[in-house]
Amino acid sequence: MGDGDRPSLADQRDTETVYQPAEDSKLLADTAVAYTESGDWVLDVGTGSGYIAHRFGEETAARVVGSDLNPNACRQARDAGVSVVRADQLTPFRDGAFDVVVFNPPYLPTEPDREWDDWMETALSGGESGREVIEPFLDDLYRVLAPDGDAFLLVSSLTGIDAVRDYARGNGLTTMEAATESHPYEKLVVLHLRPTGAPDTR
């Protein structure tokens, strides 16, 4: 969601109902695929077109599932050969189910009066803070990860990277910057998250 070569949000709003792969999708896939071992169970949360899940399927011997809230995205990912579940975040998945979880979330800070109430908003808007989808994800991530599992979360300087790392720590997860990429208006970072101890709330 970064540089000036891509259509503006207003352009996408009228033409797209599914987020199409961009530099953030590619950075996340390039990074996470390298950490995956044969036979791992992988979940691509908010799979969109299915691009990241498809990359895992092509480049690893992992077992991959995609999920998305948007039924149009589920359809598009399924057409791309991805096994898809229509789901809100991590809700339907059982405890400890995944060795690898990846999420390229909606992260753009958006004022309430700028919300436009369609599927592209669901793909792009992280609410006022930019972290309104990321925080519930981090609340539940520890639960679905295998004890030695790895998660990869795409964040942006627009989203507040330190705030995301602090929030993850409060949920029993260590964070490391696994990859970074600078664009004219933002820095993209792939955070590598691993379970440490029980979350504060347990």
Interface residue with ligand SAM among 122, 129, 157, 174 (CB under 6 A) is 122
Site string for ligand SAM, 151-180 (x = CB under 6 A): ------------------------------
Interface residue with ligand SAM among 27, 33, 41, 51 (CB under 6 A) is 51
Tell me if 133 contacts ligand SAM by CB under 6 A. yes
What single letter denotes the amino acid at residue 4?
G
Q: Tell me how far CA of residue 122 lies from CA of 54, 70, 84, 86, in angstroms.
A: 21, 8, 18, 14
- Among 8, 1, 13, smallest CA distance to 116 is for 13
Tell me if 123 contacts ligand SAM by CB under 6 A. yes
Tell me if 110 contacts ligand SAM by CB under 6 A. no
Query: Is the CB of residue 80 less than 8 Å from the CB of residue 54?
Result: yes
Angle of helix 161-169 relative to helix 134-144, nearest 10 degrees, comes to 40
Tell me if 25 contacts ligand SAM by CB under 6 A. yes
- Of the pair 22, 163, the CB lying nearest ligand SAM is at 22
- Of the pair 123, 189, the CB lying nearest ligand SAM is at 123
Nearest-angstrom CA–CA distance, 76 and 79? 5
Tokens of 181: 């990429």
- Number of residues engaging ligand SAM in binding (CB under 6 A): 23
Task: Enumerate residues 179-198 that contact ligand SAM by CB under 6 A.
Answer: none
Tell me if 56 contacts ligand SAM by CB under 6 A. no
Q: Tell me how far CA of residue 132 lies from CA of 13, 106, 184, in angstroms.
A: 20, 9, 24
Residue number, nearest CB to ligand SAM? 46
Q: Tell me how far CA of residue 131 lies from CA of 115, 136, 165, in angstroms.
A: 15, 9, 11
Q: Which residue ranges make up the site for ligand SAM (CB under 6 A)?
A: 19, 21, 25, 45-49, 51-52, 67-70, 73, 88-89, 104-106, 122-123, 133
